[in-house]
Structure 1
Amino acid sequence: MSETVQDLALGSKGVLKQNPSASSSKGAEAVLYGRSRLADPQQQLADLAAVDLSQTPQQGNFAQRLAVHQWQTLQPSKLEIFQINLGKLCNMTCSHCHVDAGPTRIVENMDRSTIYACLQALDQTEAHTVDITGGAPELNPHFRYLVDQCVARGKHVIDRCNLTVLLLPRMQDLPKWLAARGVEIVCSLPHYKQESTDTQRGDGTFEKSIIALQRLNAAGYGQGDSQRQLVLVTNPVGACLAKNNPCIEKEWKTGLQENCGITFDRLIALNNMPISRYLEWLETSGNLQAYMERLVNAFNPSTIAGLMCRNTLSISWDGRIFDCDFNQMLDLEAQQLDGHRPHIRDFNPALLAQREIVTGHHCFGCTAGAGSSCSGAIV
């Protein structure tokens, strides 16, 4: 990689904030990896299991909640989306990041042989979409190879972009490069106003994000072209649920157009998952109990059929297979069916179709309210 860790770091602009609901501009050393007990996924699962949910329906047991609505087990539907996580290297350290990504995560990045195995597996399916994520997936040295190979196979490709990565020296041509291949760009932007965005993602992030969005607009993105789709993703600041409605999207479009001259195609709002850095904030701020109760009490049975774990496979940087990106970050691998945990190099679509999806307390994050998935609201 041509950028060093120092090149990737945002310095004083892009420093992790410890409290997503605070307006202070002071950074905090709240990155989990190597610095927190919650760097261990097993500890995260234990902390979630320790939350007293006895006063909520089915005492906060997700499997029992499913059973009440005639879902004795949660099984996959037709596989439509291959989600490939290229690694944890990122030029940012955002406070809500469930991946615990950052500039020093240089080890956990997918190599060329694993990417080749992903492509071989993809060829055995009828999946129509390849969803490429990270970290900042663009920092993986094989990112462009993967995109080209997927496009050559006629797949719809999604690049989950943090926007600021487009300002790095070797990324200057990326907006036009992606546009030429019809890649959909799904971008993180907590809010269309500066304060909320910088609070969650670091001082100076909003300004950098606007510059990146302007470059994407200049490349033809966000103009209503189905081959140049620009989607913005927002996560709530604080311990509340995402708001999904047409009025919010209209407000965003008006705000960005009038204040920044930016246009985009669609807004999706995701619930913050109670894992990784956000879980740490919930604990240190005293919000974990209330937030988990909020998720459980907002359970919506109408979301079950459309859960992303049912039509998606999530592939980790080292080739392990998971039911979803969130399970991947909690190290909850897909169900063992043949004596071994499933790996992309031993891909068996028929066997995987028989698995039972692994669930836990965190799954209430996807079923609360209108639901939350990588594509936004479920219902």
Structure 2
Amino acid sequence: MVNLLIQNEFDQALADAHAPLRRVRPEILQLNVGKLCNLTCVHCHVNAGPARKEIVTGETIDRILEWYEQTDIPTLDLTGGTPEMVPDFRRLVETVRNFDQPRRVMDRLNATIINEPGYEWVAEFLAEHEVEIIASMPCYEPDNVNEQRGDGVFDRSIEAFQKLNELGYGRDPKLVLNFVYNPNGGFLPPEQTALEADYKREMKEHFDIDFNQLFCIANMPIARFASYLKRNGELQSYMEVLKDAFNPTTVEGLMCRNTINVSWLGEVFDCDFNQMMKLPLRHDPPAGDGGKGEPMFLWEIDHETFENVPILTGNHCFGCTAGSGSSCGGALT
């Protein structure tokens, strides 16, 4: 189905380290609902923003739900863009939480949406359905956050987190609130445990905000962040940082091993980064056709045998294996 020959430097690094990259049984269905967002962040690997039109349709959601309910995949991970801006967001969450076998739902929340006109329902809705929140918070100091995510975002985020705390998020064991740290430039995240302790101290002392965990995620050298690096003449040096910090012990924990990533169109990818690199999984081309096969759609795959499908890689994958590693759940080692 996919050529297993070494095709890039990342493949070579895996081979040299005797660190094979193979799937395991799917545990997470990650749906990128589209590129619509109320912010335009420098580090965004999706190139999301307020003017983007790419969002999942109700028909595609129906097909995804029909497929998903027939599986035993325990977790639905919603990302974007800003998932709550999709018209069918509430229907999607309610349906999954009301399956005969209810699933855990995670929402990669841009917290500022909570205070946007027309989205006042978001916080209460997420709490009612016990949706786990993973929220971007690049720093506990205003200047760094505003530089990366836009003027005023820090204060609006603090206000949103305080509201979530009032509803029980970060305090009630059933209402999980996790933060995400992304570096504010072309360097690797610091050690996650120590930074989490700093965050918890500063957020509590200055804003009386509680949260559960901090996830440190490296910036990927793609899309808007790659453009930022190019403008500053730092793209090549950042790639060297990632390659030099390759850590083979992170491979076992890579999210591509246990995650099925799906686009707003329903196409299947190994991860959200491959999705933005336009590297879908494909069917075999017709016999005698030297071209590429057609992209796979979620409702065309068998989740029982999906672990046999090879994983597509590229040099951007060094972003997930550098230093302590990086996944949608933070550091790997």
| Range of TM-score over shorter length | over 0.9
Whole-Å separation in 2 of the counterparts to 1:286 and 1:201: 21
**Is residue 263 of structure 2 the alignment partner of residue 316 of structure 1?**
yes
Q: Which residue of 194, 198, 202 maps to 2:142?
A: 194
Provide the residue aligned with 1:102 in structure 2.
49
Q: Tell me the residue number matched to 2:121.
A: 173
Instruction: Tell me whether 1:331 sits opposite 2:282 in the alignment.
Output: no
After superposition, residues 290-305 of structure 1 pair within 5 angstroms as 290-305=237-252
- With over 3 angstroms needed to count, the CA separation of the structure-2 counterparts of 1:127 and 1:350, relative to structure 1, is closer
Corresponding residue of 2:209:
262
CA contact (8 A) 1:189 1:233 kept: yes
- 1:1-379 pair list within 5 angstroms: 61-71=9-19, 74-106=21-53, 108-153=54-99, 154-223=102-171, 225-337=172-284, 339-379=293-333
Q: C-alpha displacement at 1:340, in angstroms?
A: 3.4
For the 8 Å contact 1:244–1:268, the answer to whether it is kept is no
Give the 3 Å change call, closer, same or farther, for CA 198–112 of structure 1 in structure 2: same
Cα displacement string for residues 171-208 of structure 1 (whole angstroms, at most 9, x for unaligned residues): 21221221111110100011011000001011111011
Indicate if the aligned counterparts of 2:282 and 2:294 stay in contact, CA closer than 8 A.
Answer: no
- Seen in structure 2, the aligned counterparts of structure 1 residues 234 and 245 have a Cα distance that, compared at 3 Å, is closer
CA distance in 1, matches of 2:8, 2:237: 13
Q: Single out whichever of 339-348 and 229-238 deviates more from structure 2.
A: 339-348
Q: Secondary structure at the match of 1:313?
A: strand
Structure 1 pair 197–119 and aligned structure 2 pair: CA distance change class (3 A): same
Between 1:335-344 and 1:97-106, the stretch displaced more is 335-344
Distance in 2 between residues matched to 1:275 and 1:63, nearest whole Å: 18
Corresponding residue pairs, total: 319
Q: Following the alignment from structure 1 to structure 2, what is the Cα–Cα distance between the partners of residues 210 and 337?
A: 49
SS in 1 for 2:308: coil
CA contact (8 A) 1:335 1:356 kept: no
The answer for the alignment partner of 1:52 in structure 2 is none
Structure 1 distance, partners of 2:321, 2:83, is 27
1:151, 1:157 within 8 Å by CA — same for their partners in 2? yes
SS at match of 1:169: coil
CA distance 1:342–1:351, change in 2 (3 Å): farther
Q: What's the CA shift for 1:169? A: 2.1
Q: Which amino acid aligns with 1:80?
A: E
Sort the Cα spacing of 1:330 and 1:59 in 2 relative to 1 into closer, same or farther, 3 A. closer
Does the Cα contact within 8 Å between 2:25 and 2:306 map onto a contact in 1?
A: no
Q: Deviations over 1:252-301 (max 9, x none)?
A: 11111111121111111100000011101111111112111110011111
Distance in 2 between residues matched to 1:166 and 1:247, nearest whole Å: 29
Q: In the alignment, what sits opposite 2:3? A: none
Greater alpha carbon shift after TM alignment, 338-347 vs 275-284: 338-347
Does the CA-based 8 Å contact 1:198-1:206 persist in structure 2? yes
SS of the residue corresponding to residue 91 of structure 1 reads: coil
Check whether the contact 2:266–2:298 (CA below 8 A) recurs between aligned residues: yes
Distance 2:84 2:141 in 1: 26
Write the letter of the residue equivalent to 1:214.
Q
Instruction: Verify the 8 A CA contact 2:19 2:248 in the aligned structure 1.
Output: no
Q: Flag the 1:337–1:226 CA change in 2: closer, same or farther, 3 A.
A: farther
Aligned partners of 1:71, 1:304: CA distance in 2, in Å?
Answer: 7
Are the equivalent residues in 1 in contact too, given 2:192–2:331 (CA < 8 A)?
no
Deviations 1:29-50 (A, max 9, x none): xxxxxxxxxxxxxxxxxxxxxx
Checking the alignment, whether the CA contact within 8 Å between 2:192 and 2:215 is kept in structure 1 is: no
* Structure 1 gaps, min length 5: 1-57
Unaligned runs of 5+ in 2: 1-5, 286-292
